[in-house]
Amino acid sequence: ILAYLERLAGEDKALMPQPIDLYQQALRLIGLGLNACDKSVQIIYERDLRPPEKQHPAWSNRIQAQLTTAYDVLESYAAQTNTWLIGDRLSQADITVCVAWQFTQFTSPNVISPQ
């Protein structure tokens, strides 16, 4: 959806940076955000959809550890800037990470603490 909207808006409103090093960094941040969303969904499935007698605490702990790691890495990127994650304007990485964070906070507010 974002790629489509970017095409409609034109190159001057691109959501992905053009320099290859920044493009690679954006892809990494997007991947981490998508991974965090995936882990949040896995937590929901395990907690809300699997019968209690079939829930596996070791699996839940592993998923939560992966989610925490993704957000720890994202936090380290965010700590290095006081504006956008990459460069001096909004990027697809900012949008993806923000949506991931909001999704996790909405679905599992007690899993990751907003510090």
The per-residue pLDDT of the chain, averaged, comes to 92
pLDDT tens column, 66-115: 999 999 999 999 999 989 999 888 999 999 999 999 999 999 888 887 77
pLDDT of residue 92: 93
Answer yes or no: are the C-beta atoms of 103 and 37 closer than 8 Å.
yes
pLDDT of residue 114: 78
Q: Is residue 11 over pLDDT 80?
A: no
Q: How far apart are CA 51 and CA 22, in angstroms?
A: 44
Q: How far apart are CA 20 and CA 76, in angstroms?
A: 21
Q: How far apart are CA 26 and CA 10, in angstroms?
A: 19
pLDDT of residue 23: 94
Q: How far apart are CA 111 and CA 103, in angstroms?
A: 12
Q: Is residue 33 over pLDDT 80?
A: yes
Single pTM value for the model: 0.89
Answer yes or no: are the C-beta atoms of 29 and 85 closer than 8 Å.
yes
